Structure 1
Amino acid sequence: MKRFVLLALLVFAACGEAEVDRRRPPEPAPSGIQLQEVAAFDSPVYVTAPPGDDRLFVVEQGGAIRIHDGERTLESPFLDISDRIEAGGEQGLLGLAFPPDYDRTGLFYVYYTAQDGANTLAEFRREDGDSADPRSGRVLFAVEDDEVNHNGGMITFGPDDRLYVGMGDGGGSGDQHGEIGNGQALDTLLGKILRIDPRPHGERPYTIPEDNPFVDREGARGEIFAYGLRNPWRFSFDRATGDLTIGDVGQNAVEEISYVPFEEASGANFGWRVFEGSARFTDGEQAEGAIPPAVDEGHDIGNCSITGGYVVRDTGLPRWVGRYVYGDFCRGVLRTVQLPDGEPQDTGLEVEQLSSFGEDAGGRLYAVSLNGPVYRILLG
């Protein structure tokens, strides 16, 4: 998720060894909203669901995707590709996305760090409703990465049915890559959100949409949709408006939530490495048209790694509808904010080692703990 300094890195690297503390369930918030444990998993990092499917698909960092049908977790994984993944620290199976036509095609996409460290996007095919064929894997790209951290990992289909891919800046500290860092360099995929059509085109294993912002710019990668990012571990599109919100993990001082309306998102520059949040990070450099964060929060209140969430559209959470929910891996407090310029509010809910949020096919909201539990957020 980030470089997770010392304790946080050790915690993440110890995946699979932590035991779930079931002695006391999370307390409900003053609003009556509470966390209801769905089930516990082995180092879960994300949850999602195919369109129209009532079940929950849980991504485990070690390389398995498991299905929870509302009552139980199916014994056999939907997909297990642990034999091709390097897991631990910030590496592993990190993302999963189902396209709008999944029911017809059976195709879906995963993002992982391969055994050689490459940040890899791959396509797989469903065998039946409960399982996929691990032999069906087709790699769309594998981006070399010399560092073990800042791997990105979020993939999702946007409101335009294109596949969006979050890429970290290449790792290390301070984005010390090339003359201006990867975040601001348009000749690399690192430090970006990419936008592609996953269908092959000619000899290329995917298609670059012609309306991407840098398709016709010399020296720029046509896959780039937005740039100036350090490690966009989790981002999302508002189900109602399509607006884009990014949880971009900070360096040593500031964690950032970035927001942009969908119609203004193409070509957006979010400022890293020139800025860390709204604070200047690198003197003497410029980030053309940089969009300031909607929210930046310091490490002085216990933050270490922002966990981006969702604008809530679950009508079962009436007091949260239209508000963005997010948190931090170390602090664990769930917060909401009215974007783009509202004041964040604590919800009274906490999730230890908050690795991710997720939505099911109906827009119901979930919070994920790397310790094992996946919680549904609901009105008690």
Structure 2
Amino acid sequence: MRRALLTVLAFGAVAAPAQGAVRLEKVGDFEAPVYVTAPPGDTARVFVVEQGGTIRIVGRQAPFLDISSQVTSGGEQGLLSMAFAPDYATSGLFYVYFTDADGDQQVVEFRGSGDAADPRTARQVLLMRDSESNHNGGQLQFGPDGRLYIGTGDGGGAGDARNRAQNRRSLLGKLLRMDPTRGGRPEIYAYGLRNPWRFSFDRQTGDLTIGDVGQGEWEEINFVRRGRGKGANFGWRPFEGNARFAPGESAKGHVRPVITQSHEAGNCSITGGYVIRDPALSWRGRYVFGDYCRGVIQTARLGGVKKVRVTHHRALRVESLSSFGEDASGRVYAASLNGPVYRFVDR
């Protein structure tokens, strides 16, 4: 997963009352949850991805899928996310991203039906060789164009020593795009990313937001309008945040982050989230995100403003904040690597 998942800081109450109208409602406890999602149109079920290699449905005892025997888990490795095909209701197709027994990254297709998936339906869609155990990226999302987007880290090692993020012949340090049913090598949609652990598309506008984990000083959030991400260079490794990282190296015309946060403030690993479109939540229209070490829930309005103002909801904290997620109704969730999964609700 990320460098920061090796570090655990203890905060006070995880689900303290919110500042304002929003609170965290616990929906269950899991084994190292790293992602939350649901099939399109399925408002009855919520799926939780566990790092060790299982996918569970909230409220069900038996796992939806168990591939733990195929997964290398621990630190930044493991079963990192899943994505349901837009036509899942008829095709049953979904995709998972995991670290295999050799330490390489795989994207694999499965078929599911009802409350169970058949592991025998596995079909490898993408294999990425990886000599390091960190900076694995791990996010899968179907975009507004119906294609599968894949966030990949720069392959690990301090400072992207192999300069993969700026190398457009490498699949690492990128946002990839592909039609998984046809297979073949994916296209590089955007590049210059260090470890895009979590990215998302606004379900209303299609705008793209990326939380890119920093090196040692700065964490960053990148934002582009729908369709503007194609060919974009997000600046790593010449830049970390807005700061020069590699003197003499160029990232001409790169997209600058809309939010940067310093490690001096207690941040260590950004956890990107979602623009909230839940009509029942007073935060709708705001982007929610946080940091693995600080655990403080933060929101901001992106796009249409020259300077993004971040609100720190200090009474809302999630220890070891591993991920956010969104269900078919647009409700948003926060997961703690320690086990709990919460849903954002109005008080």
Q: Distance in 2 between matches of 1:258 and 1:108?
A: 27
Quote the residue 1:229 is aligned against.
193
Quote the residue 2:55 is aligned against.
65
Structure 1 segments, 4+ long, off by >6 Å, are none
Instruction: Map Cα deviations across residues 42-67 of structure 1 (whole Å, 9 max, x no partner).
Output: 00000000012121100000000000
- Contact kept? 1:49, 1:359, Cα under 8 Å: yes
Give me the CA root mean square deviation.
1.6
Kindly indicate whether residue 335 of structure 2 is the aligned counterpart of residue 335 of structure 1: no
Kindly indicate whether residue 277 of structure 2 is the aligned counterpart of residue 313 of structure 1: yes
Q: Distance in 2 between matches of 1:34 and 1:86?
A: 35
One-letter code aligned to 2:54:
A
Quote the residue 1:56 is aligned against.
46
User: Aligned to 1:149, which of 129, 134, 138?
Assistant: 134
Which residues of 2 match residues 259-338 of structure 1 at below 5 A? 259-318=223-282, 320-338=283-301
Quote the residue 1:360 is aligned against.
327
Instruction: Map Cα deviations across residues 322-364 of structure 1 (whole Å, 9 max, x no partner).
Output: 1111000000001011113321111231100000000000000
Instruction: Map Cα deviations across residues 177-196 of structure 1 (whole Å, 9 max, x no partner).
Output: 1xxx0110000100000000
| Larger RCO (CA under 8 A, 6+ residues apart) | 2
Instruction: Map Cα deviations across residues 224-267 of structure 1 (whole Å, 9 max, x no partner).
Output: 00000000000000111100000000000000000011121111
Quote the residue 2:32 is aligned against.
43
**Runs of at least 5 residues in structure 2 that lack an aligned partner in the other structure:** none
Quote the residue 1:113 is aligned against.
99
Secondary structure of 2:308's aligned partner: coil
Q: Distance in 2 between matches of 1:256 and 1:159?
A: 23
- Contact kept? 1:10, 1:89, Cα under 8 Å: no
Quote the residue 1:217 is aligned against.
none
The change in CA–CA distance for 1:25 and 1:269 in structure 2 (over 3 A counts) is closer
Quote the residue 2:337 is aligned against.
370
- Per the TM alignment, residue 24 of structure 1 is displaced from its structure 2 partner at its CA by 5.3
- Per the TM alignment, residue 2 of structure 1 is displaced from its structure 2 partner at its CA by 2.6
Which residues of 2 match residues 148-227 of structure 1 at below 5 A? 148-177=133-162, 181-200=163-182, 206-207=183-184, 223-227=187-191
- Contact kept? 1:199, 1:207, Cα under 8 Å: no
Kindly indicate whether residue 51 of structure 2 is the aligned counterpart of residue 84 of structure 1: no
The change in CA–CA distance for 1:248 and 1:24 in structure 2 (over 3 A counts) is closer
Bigger strand share: 2
- Contact kept? 1:306, 1:329, Cα under 8 Å: yes
Q: Distance in 1 between matches of 2:78 and 2:15?
A: 28
One-letter code aligned to 1:103:
A
One-letter code aligned to 2:145:
D
- Contact kept? 1:226, 1:265, Cα under 8 Å: yes
Secondary structure of 1:27's aligned partner: coil
- Contact kept? 1:3, 1:172, Cα under 8 Å: no
Instruction: Map Cα deviations across residues 111-138 of structure 1 (whole Å, 9 max, x no partner).
Output: 0000101111000011x30100111111
Secondary structure of 2:52's aligned partner: coil
Q: What is the aligned residue count?
A: 342
Kindly indicate whether residue 122 of structure 2 is the aligned counterpart of residue 137 of structure 1: yes
Secondary structure of 1:45's aligned partner: strand
Q: Distance in 2 between matches of 1:356 and 1:57?
A: 13
Q: Distance in 2 between matches of 1:199 and 1:135?
A: 17
Q: Distance in 2 between matches of 1:235 and 1:246?
A: 4
- Per the TM alignment, residue 374 of structure 1 is displaced from its structure 2 partner at its CA by 0.3
Q: Distance in 1 between matches of 2:68 and 2:14?
A: 31
One-letter code aligned to 1:335:
Q
Aligned residues with identical type, % of pairs: 58
Q: Distance in 1 between matches of 2:128 and 2:311?
A: 38
Kindly indicate whether residue 310 of structure 2 is the aligned counterpart of residue 344 of structure 1: yes
- Per the TM alignment, residue 141 of structure 1 is displaced from its structure 2 partner at its CA by 1.3
